Structure 1
Amino acid sequence: MLQQNQALEEANRTAETLLHASAQFASMMEQDQVVDTMFLQMRLLVEYDIAAVYTLESPEWIALRATWQEGRSQAAEPGSVVGINPQEFPALLRVIDQQKSHSIADTLQQARPFHHLEANSPRGWLGIPLAAGGKVIGLCEIGRFQPTAFSQDQVRLAEGIASQAAVALQNAQRYEQVRESRAQLKTLTRKIVEVQERERRWVAVELHENLVQKIAAILMKIRYLGDKLDQNESVCPGFDDIDRELSFVFEDLRKMAINLRPVILDTSGLSAAIRSELARLRDNHHLRTDFSESGRLKRIPKEMEITLYRIVQEALANVTQHARAAQVGVSLVQTENRAIMLIEDDGVGFSLNKLDQSTCLGLIGMRERAEMIGGTLAVESSPGEGTMIRVSVPLPESGAAEG
């Protein structure tokens, strides 16, 4: 009876350990966390002195990702992962090829070399495949420094932990791949935006310094000639038409240059550029506008100024195209370590769950711009309640170079 109770208690402890391990693995997205947890949970069920985890990179290469010894785990340093050819170590190769655990009671009886860490090689050894989705993605080995025959129960328990860890490890690998891809995409997008801004600045300067100035000079000459010929009624109307049409062209080119890259952004900074944009909105669309700023009121890095200005441009364009607003306001707050910008309108608003394509793409573009400089963008809106866009970006530490 006593033995039955002890066996039942042991079975309950084992079940609790497996359930606890499952819950832990389910919440993990980092490979190192998964491996550490596997070492700890496996040792609660099977005693060992040394352990290691490998990931299968190719049929000719497995990578040593982490080891466990003397009560602690050690992950391989990035850029210094040890690569091993399993073809040179039959015990490792057998576990991978057969996708089955393999136990050796005394490795000294095996052909040499048995282990890539020959000086620290275990005597009793157990290799367990790490398989997920019917595919081996690596293997785990545990060992004792004394000859040890791992029992079938111990093998089964180790496999129970390893099977859960393998799924978590595969998920962590996929998450890491997605994260790396997102980082690469963000870097590429940032470079594209930088090139666009350089091109915009060049075109804006060319328009303003070259074409606009030439048209201005032509207008002056036409008006001068018009004054000289104002007595000739048959000629003057023609000059008036040319004057008017060139004035329209001049104004269109001037606006184009400002939209491409407002000079005031480079010379006077973000606040002045936002005020200028709101003034243009007020004049062209007859909206009531408001701008406020508070905090440290210093120039922020040029890249951030450009990004925040482009977000304001896009947001105000959305107001004029979709919001049917009567009033729009922009506020800029600078703390020691953050810049926070709010863009609010009293327009018709919209449901965040039912966005049309143009609005959706505009918000995505603004959010991506904010994320490129390490910031966040949040939108609050509902039908009939207007819209608020909140942008928050980190500022460099005090004393850092400012744009």
Structure 2
Amino acid sequence: MSDKIALERRYGATNYAPLPIVLSRGEGPWLWDDEGRKYLDMLSAYSAVSFGYGHPKILKAFTDQAARLAVTSRAFHSDTLPPFLAKLCEVTGMDRALPMTTGAEGVETAIKCARKWAYVSKKVPRDTAEIIVCDGNFHGRTSTIVGFSSEPQYRDDFGPYATQGFKHVPFGDATALAAAITPNTAAFLVEPVQGEAGIVVPPEGYLKECERICRERNVLLIVDEVQTGLGRTGKVLAIHHEGVKPDGLILGKALGGGLMPVSAFLAREDVMGVFKPGDHGSTFGGNALGAAVGLASLNVLLDENLAERSATLGDYLLKKLKAVQSPVVTDVRGKGLLIGVELDPRKVSARRFVETLLKHGVLSKDTHGTVARFAPPLIVERADLDWAVDRIRDALREYGPVYEKAA
């Protein structure tokens, strides 16, 4: 065992079970361990490194701004926050943005805003507002959020939970959403693709129908695009695949360019307008350094056409992976460069498989014990993906015969 791994196990909390690798350097889509071995990153820190490691434009924005001004608190204005907010609203089509740090903070912000909107604008009786969420959701790990998780491990032994304000419906079932709405419903909170649940893609037209239902019933549609946003699924936002315009939008991960924790809750004018000075805030949310990095990240996304690149390369990777036939693979699914390979748990666990991939130079991560996810940085080259598929094929051969599906 590496001395560094042993040291982390000795002094670190045990809330993670990392793969047995110590990373020391990254460049583009590639990572190197502390012994100089090279790996292709097919995880992108769950989309936080969507633009690759050390992107020169984002890195320059980071270093230039860090040398000039980093954190002053929102008690004062900075010269980097206004252009960041303007660009964020321009790119997303939303009216206003509230910057935070982590994705979970963005979700918590959305929850507070939706509840206050329900009481102030919709006139829901105080302390009775409900938010509808989906089975299999993952919106973070704060105490409020785990309270409405349907994953036992996220909930067990962390109660009491704030369950009275949340209601569950099946993901992908718009009819169930319509049936669950009551006069006290404030919002429907949904991921366009469920990442932690195993890269679950809903039926085509689902989000558009949810939008229609929410408009008809005066319910806020709040979309969590922390993992799917900013090019990951082949559009700037995953909701753009269906032309959906939400009332609230949560972004994070990629917004920080792989360098900073930057997130935001965005909403239409009247929804965000329920917040007054003192209602909400974050010590580091909207800091000058984070704003500069966020603006640079948005510019890179647009200037380098990374959403379009994700669509093209995602289709290519999905076809390549579907062509690899193995008795341990039961399904391959995804959208853009967000792809899940479902494995037969009777033959190999997803954890064991990603450990095998590690030996072959590919970094991935398992979810739900049955799915290996593949979500490389959007700047990855086609040749890199070819190399990765060859390594995935080699790894699968360790569990049975592999052949190519005829075209």
TM-score interval (norm. to shorter) = under 0.3
Higher relative contact order (CA 8 A, sep 6+): 2
Larger Rg over CA atoms? 1
- Length-normalised TM-score, structure 1: 0.20
Greater share of residues in helix: 1
